[in-house]
Structure 1
Amino acid sequence: MSGLHLSTGPATLLVLAKEPVPGRAKTRLTPPYTPQEAAALAEAALTDTLHTVLLAPARRRILVLDGAPGPWLPPGFDIVLQEPGGLDERIAAAFSHCDRGPALLVGMDTPQMTADLLAGVGRDRHDAWFGPAVDGGFWALGLAAPSGAATLVSGVPMSADNTGEVQRRRLVEAGLNVCDLPMLRDVDTAADAAAVATCCPSGSRFVATLNSLAEAGR
C-alpha cells in the first residue's frame, strides 16, 4: 500500500454513532448523571457532530448507526446500520459503504470538533489521516483507499490505553503516508464533559445541555 496518494477530495464523511437511548448511551456518565441525563448529553454531542459534518465539504455524508434515527438527525445524511461484532469490525465495515475514496470516519464523542478540522481531508497528498484522543484512542480515521480498511483496522485492540498507538502503527507499517490531526478529548466521564465544554464552538448544543443540567443541580 506504500505511496498510494489517491486523495482526490472532498472525502466521504462517516459518523459512527449509537442511538442516544437512556441506559445504552454514555453509560460512564452515570453517576453523577442519571441514564436520562447521560442520554441527553449523548444526543447533544451527536447533534453537534452531525451539524459540524454538514458544514464540512464532503462527497457524501453517512451516519453509521447502532439503533434508529430520531428527531436529532438533520437532513443530508445517508443512514446505514452498523454491522455486528467488535468495534474494530464495525469501523472496518463502515468504510465498506464508501463507493470511492477518500473517506474519513469520526465518532459522536467529540462535540468540540470543528468543520475546519475535517476540511483538508482528501484534498492533500496523504494516504491516511489520524486523529488521536487524549485517552489513548482516536477520534478520527481517514483512508485514501477505504477498501483496505479491513486489513488496517481489524484486530486492533479497542478501548485500551494504547488503541491509538497500535492503530497508527498499523497505518505506518502498511507503508501509508499519515497526516496527523489535532488531539481531541472524548466525552466519556463527567470530568471529560466539563473539560470538553470549554472547547466547544459557540452555539454548542452539548454546552447548552450541560449548563442546563448544572442549573438543575447536577
Structure 2
Amino acid sequence: MNKIVIFVKAPVPGQVKTRLCPPLSNREAAALYKALAKDALSAARSVPLTQVDVAYDPWPPHIEPVWMSDDRPDFFPQQGSDLGERLSHAAQHAFSSGASKVVIIGSDSPRLSADHLTHAFELLDRHDIVLGPAHDGGYYLIGLCRPVPEVFENIPWSTPRVFEETLSRLRFLNLEPGLLNKLGDIDTAEDLKRLLDFARHHNGGLIHTRPILEALGKGSLKLWGAPIALLLAVFLAAQAIFALTPLGRTLSIDSFSGATEPDGLPKNWKPLVFKKIPRRTAYSLVEENGDYFVMAQSSFSASAILKEVQASPKDYPMLRWRWKIERVLEKADARKKSGDDYAARIYVAFRYDPKNASAWQRAKYGVAKSLYGHYPPHAALNYIWDNKLPIGAAVDNPYTNRTKMIAVESGPENVGKWRTEERNIYDDYKRLFGEDPPDIAFIALMTDTDNTGETASAYFDDISLAAPDNAHEKQKEIP
C-alpha cells in the first residue's frame, strides 16, 4: 500500500503564512493557507491506489483538520520537538499502519500535482529515498521505502541549507536519492507574485486557491488584475506596499490565537516587571466562542507584558485595539504618584537613537545601558482607561515627563463592554512632545493597582498599527 502524509497547521490568523503579512492581512494569509492545504489534499487524493493521511500540528489544542474536507480525512497529531522528529514520527506511523511506500508533503506548494506524487512513488521503485527540492533551499516532498530516522537528525531546519545537508546525510548513510523537479513554496511576497502569475496563465488546478485569489482581487489592490505586478514590485523593492493599499496597510501586532510561551504568556510577548514592586499582575489567554484575548488580573500589583515592534509612526500612525474592564479604580489619580494606577492601558514606547541625542542624553542613556544591557525607551505614550480625566485629556506621568498619559476611556459608563479604539500616535506624540516621533520600540499591555491597593481585571485584543484612511502628507514620506 502506498501512503501520502500531508503536514498541516491550523489556519489560525497570525500563526500561518505570517511572512505574507504584509502585503496580506493575517486573516487573508490564513484563508490562503487553508485553500493551499485543501488543494494539496485534492492532489494527493487524485493519485490512484494510494491512501492519504493528514498529520496536523496539535497547537492550538482541539483544532483538528476537519476543515480540510467535507469527507473527514484520516489524521493524526504530529509529535516531536522539531520538524525532524515530527517527520520521523509521521513516517514511522505510516509504515506501522501497513504502508510499503510513504511520501510526505507540506501543504503550501500549489504547483505540486498528482503527476509529481505519482512520479515520486515510481522513483521509489529504483531509489532508497525521493526528494522534491524547493526554491528556498528546503524540500517540499520526501519519499521513503522504510523508516530511516537518521535522515532527519541534526538538520538545520528552517534554513536554506536543509536540502544540501539532507543530501550530505544521505551520502553518509549510503542511500541513493531520486530527485523531482524543483518547485516553490508560498512564504514571501515574491512567492505570492509567482503564484499570481502562474494562476493567471494556467487555467487548471488550484481548485480552492483560485477563488481565494479572486476574492482578494475584489479589493482595491486588485490582486487578480495587472496592478498586482507593479504593486508587489514596489513592496519587494521598498517593503512599502502596505502603505499604499487597503489590503496591506495594516500591521497586526496581535489578534491572539491561543499560542503561548512556556511561561503562559501569549506567543512572542515578554514580561515587563519592576524590581521594587513584589506583586505582579497576572496575564493569561482566555478563549470565548473561538476568540482568544488577553486577560489581566491585578490585586495590589503591577507588571506588564510587551511585544517588540519595528515600525515607524510616520508610516503606521494609527494605533487600533479593543479592550474591556470590569471596574474603574476609585482611588486612582493620574496626576499623583499615589494614584498612578489604571484599570487598563496600552503603552507605546519609542526607540532611543544616540545619533539624534544631545551629549547629556547620550551620557544618561549610556549609564542606563551599562546597568541594564540595553537603552531604555526615549519616550512613551500611555493610552489609559481612567476614572476621572475627561476623554482626550493628556497629562504628564507623575514620575516622568517623558511619558504622557492620554485618557481614551473614562469613568464607569462603558464598564463590562468591549470598546474599539483608534489613536493617531504620530499626531499625539508631536503634539505632546513638540517633535517628530522616533521609531516604535515596543507595545505593552498593563493593568496595575500597586499604588491604590485595589483590584482590577481587563481584557485586550486585536491590536494593530495602520496607515490612515486619508493619509497625511507628512505621514506618506518615505525616510
| C-alpha displacement of 1:65 | 0.4
Q: Distance in 2 between matches of 1:191 and 1:208?
A: 20
- Residue pair 1:136, 1:163 contacting (<8 A) in 2 also: yes
- Residue pair 2:66, 2:73 contacting (<8 A) in 1 also: no
Q: Distance in 1 between matches of 2:142 and 2:197?
A: 24
Task: Please say which structure displays the higher CA radius of gyration.
Answer: 2
Against the structure 1 CA distance between its residues 208 and 46, is the aligned structure 2 distance closer, same or farther, given a 3 Å change threshold?
Answer: same
Provide, for residues 51-76 of structure 1, a one-character-per-residue CA deviation record: whole Å limited to 9, x for no partner: 10000134421100014223332537
- Residue pair 1:185, 1:196 contacting (<8 A) in 2 also: no
Q: Distance in 1 between matches of 2:70 and 2:172?
A: 38
Task: Return the TM-score normalized by structure 1.
Answer: 0.88
What SS does structure 2 have at the residue aligned with 1:70?
helix
Q: What does 1:1-218 align with in structure 2 at a 5 Å threshold?
A: 11-67=2-58, 68-75=64-71, 77-98=73-94, 99=96, 100-123=99-122, 124-145=125-146, 147-148=147-148, 150-199=149-198, 202-204=204-206, 205-218=208-221
* Matched residue, 2:318: none
Residue identity in the other structure for 1:184: L
Provide, for residues 67-120 of structure 1, a one-character-per-residue CA deviation record: whole Å limited to 9, x for no partner: 422333253731000113111111111111112331110001102111000113
Question: Which has the higher mean CA deviation after the structures are superposed, 42-51 or 99-108?
Answer: 99-108
- Residue pair 2:106, 2:141 contacting (<8 A) in 1 also: yes
What SS does structure 2 have at the residue aligned with 1:134?
coil
Question: Which has the higher mean CA deviation after the structures are superposed, 191-200 or 15-24?
Answer: 191-200
More helix by share: 1
Against the structure 1 CA distance between its residues 76 and 119, is the aligned structure 2 distance closer, same or farther, given a 3 Å change threshold?
Answer: farther
Against the structure 1 CA distance between its residues 197 and 94, is the aligned structure 2 distance closer, same or farther, given a 3 Å change threshold?
Answer: farther
Against the structure 1 CA distance between its residues 132 and 74, is the aligned structure 2 distance closer, same or farther, given a 3 Å change threshold?
Answer: farther
Q: Distance in 1 between matches of 2:176 and 2:70?
A: 34
Q: Distance in 1 between matches of 2:92 and 2:70?
A: 23
Q: Relative CO higher for 1 or 2, CA cutoff 8 Å, sep ≥ 6?
A: 1
Counting matched residue pairs gives 207
Q: Distance in 1 between matches of 2:79 and 2:212?
A: 30
Q: Distance in 2 between matches of 1:69 and 1:156?
A: 28
Q: Distance in 2 between matches of 1:192 and 1:103?
A: 28
| C-alpha displacement of 1:192 | 0.5
Q: Distance in 1 between matches of 2:105 and 2:166?
A: 14
Q: Distance in 2 between matches of 1:25 and 1:174?
A: 34
Q: Distance in 2 between matches of 1:83 and 1:162?
A: 23
Q: Distance in 2 between matches of 1:167 and 1:65?
A: 23
* Gapped regions of structure 1 (runs ≥ 5): 1-9
Provide, for residues 123-145 of structure 1, a one-character-per-residue CA deviation record: whole Å limited to 9, x for no partner: 33211100000011110011111
Question: Which has the higher mean CA deviation after the structures are superposed, 116-125 or 47-56?
Answer: 116-125
| C-alpha displacement of 1:30 | 1.0
| C-alpha displacement of 1:17 | 0.9
Against the structure 1 CA distance between its residues 76 and 115, is the aligned structure 2 distance closer, same or farther, given a 3 Å change threshold?
Answer: farther
What SS does structure 2 have at the residue aligned with 1:151?
helix
- Residue pair 2:80, 2:89 contacting (<8 A) in 1 also: no
What SS does structure 1 have at the residue aligned with 2:68?
coil
Residue identity in the other structure for 2:10: E
Q: Distance in 1 between matches of 2:189 and 2:133?
A: 20
Task: Return the TM-score normalized by structure 2.
Answer: 0.41
Q: Distance in 1 between matches of 2:41 and 2:187?
A: 18
Residue identity in the other structure for 1:215: K
Question: Which has the higher mean CA deviation after the structures are superposed, 53-62 or 107-116?
Answer: 53-62
Question: Which has the higher mean CA deviation after the structures are superposed, 61-70 or 105-114?
Answer: 61-70
- Provide the aligned C-alpha RMSD in A: 1.8
What SS does structure 1 have at the residue aligned with 2:181?
coil
Residue identity in the other structure for 1:93: H
Residue identity in the other structure for 1:136: G
Question: Which has the higher mean CA deviation after the structures are superposed, 45-54 or 199-208?
Answer: 199-208
Against the structure 1 CA distance between its residues 11 and 169, is the aligned structure 2 distance closer, same or farther, given a 3 Å change threshold?
Answer: farther
Q: Distance in 2 between matches of 1:56 and 1:198?
A: 26
Q: Distance in 1 between matches of 2:89 and 2:45?
A: 22
